[in-house]
C-alpha cells in the first residue's frame, strides 16, 4: 500500500489560517483593551504562535524524508519560514504593547489592526489558491490584494507617526508608541513578503 504523500499545500493553508486567527485576536484584544487582563491574552497569542511552530517542525521533519516534493525544497522552506514570520510578527506586536506598559490604546490603532486582519485574510486566500497556481485564474489578483493592503499600511504608518510626534508626548510614551507602530507595520510587511514568495514560485514554474 502506497504511503500517503504529505500535503505541503494543506500545511501552508493551516499556518495561514493560524495567522488569520492571530490577527483577529490582536484586533479584538486592542479594540477592547484591558491592561489587567492583557497578560493573559498575550499568553493566548503565544500559544497560537507555538502551535504554528509545531506545524512547521512537523513539516520540516517530513521534508527531510521526502524523495520528491511538489515544488523545490528551498521554496517550501522559504514560504514556511515566512508564513511563520507573519504569526511571529503579530505575537511580537502584542508583546511590545505589554513591554511598554501601554495604559490606553490610541484611536488610530484600530485602523491598523483592522488592516492586518484584512491582509492576513487576503494572504490566506492566496495560499489557498497556491495548490492550483498553474491553473488558477484568481491567484494573481489575490497576491495584488496583499501588496495593496501593505502599501496602505505604509501610508497609515506614516500618518500615525506624524500624529504621534505632533502631540509631543513624554519621551517614554513617544518611544513606546513609535516602536508599537513599527511592530504593527511589520505585520503587514511579513504578509507581503509571503505573497511575494508565492509569486516567485509561480514565475519559476511558469
Report the pLDDT value the prediction gives residue 66, as an integer from 0 to 100: 74
Q: Which CATH number fits domain 8-129+136-204: 3.40.50.880, 1.20.58.220, 3.30.230.10, 3.30.1600.10?
A: 1.20.58.220
Q: Are 8 and 102 in contact, with CB atoms under 8 Å apart?
A: no
Task: For 36-56, give the DSSP string.
Answer: TTHHHHHHHHHHHHHHHHHHH
Kindly list the domain boundaries of the chain, sorted by start residue: 8-129+136-204
Higher pLDDT, 205 or 53: 53
**Stated pTM of the model:** 0.92
5-28 pLDDT tens trace: 788 899 999 999 999 999 999 999
166-182 pLDDT tens trace: 987 889 899 999 999 99
Amino acid at each position: 500500500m502506497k504511503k500517503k504523500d504529505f500535503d505541503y499545500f494543506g500545511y501552508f493553508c493551516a499556518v495561514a489560517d493560524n495567522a488569520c486567527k492571530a490577527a483577529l485576536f490582536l484586533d479584538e484584544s486592542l479594540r477592547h483593551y484591558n491592561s489587567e487582563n492583557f497578560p493573559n491574552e498575550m499568553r493566548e497569542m503565544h500559544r497560537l504562535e507555538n502551535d504554528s511552530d509545531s506545524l512547521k517542525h512537523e513539516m520540516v521533519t517530513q521534508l527531510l524524508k521526502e524523495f520528491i516534493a511538489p515544488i523545490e525544497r528551498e521554496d517550501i522552506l522559504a514560504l514556511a519560514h515566512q508564513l511563520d514570520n507573519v504569526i511571529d510578527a503579530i505575537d511580537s506586536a502584542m508583546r511590545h504593547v505589554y513591554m511598554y506598559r501601554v495604559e490606553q490604546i490610541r484611536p488610530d490603532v484600530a485602523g491598523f489592526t483592522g488592516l492586518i486582519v484584512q491582509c492576513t485574510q487576503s494572504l490566506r486566500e492566496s495560499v489557498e489558491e497556491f495548490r492550483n497556481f498553474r491553473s488558477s485564474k484568481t491567484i494573481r489578483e489575490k497576491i495584488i490584494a496583499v501588496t495593496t493592503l501593505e502599501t496602505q499600511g505604509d501610508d497609515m504608518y506614516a500618518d500615525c507617526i506624524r500624529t504621534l510626534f505632533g502631540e509631543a508626548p513624554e519621551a517614554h510614551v513617544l518611544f513606546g508608541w513609535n516602536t508599537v507602530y513599527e511592530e504593527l507595520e511589520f505585520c503587514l510587511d511579513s504578509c507581503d513578503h509571503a505573497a511575494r514568495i508565492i509569486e516567485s514560485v509561480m514565475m519559476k514554474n511558469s
